[in-house]
Each structure stands twice: as C-alpha cells, then as structure tokens.
Amino acid sequence: MDIAIQQVSRGGKEEWQVEALGMKVPFRDRASALAFAVRLQERVEAPHWLPGLAQQKCTED
C-alpha cells in the first residue's frame, strides 16, 4: 500500500496530510502525520488471520 505524507495549504493555514487508498487524513503538524503513517504501515504489514482458516489448517494436519 502506498502511503504519502505531504504539506498542504488549506484555508490559509499549513497542514499535513497522509494519503492512502485515495483517502486523505489531515494533521496539524508533521510529527503527528508521520506517527500516523508509521502506525498505519505497521498495521498493514502485520500478519492477519481470516476466521476459519486457522481451524481448517489444523484439521488438515
């Protein structure tokens, strides 16, 4: 998943945006945007289990 952080001017104020999957999430400062982007990337890369899949694999062994 592509995650982008950019500084934008909105309503005369500078803010930071994190964009992923076509969604944009605004932040007041770069540190907050960066922390969100890092956490999002960690969650995307984390292992995910589908319900029933683990049970099916156990019964096949």
- The three-state DSSP-derived secondary structure of the chain is CCEEEEEEEECCEEEEEEEECCEEEEECCHHHHHHHHHHHHHHHHCCCCCCCHHHHHHHHC
Where does the pLDDT of residue 61 fall: very low under 50, low under 70, confident under 90, or very high at 90 and above?
low
The per-residue pLDDT for 52 is: 79
> Is 59's pLDDT higher than 90?
no
Q: What is the pTM of this model?
A: 0.74
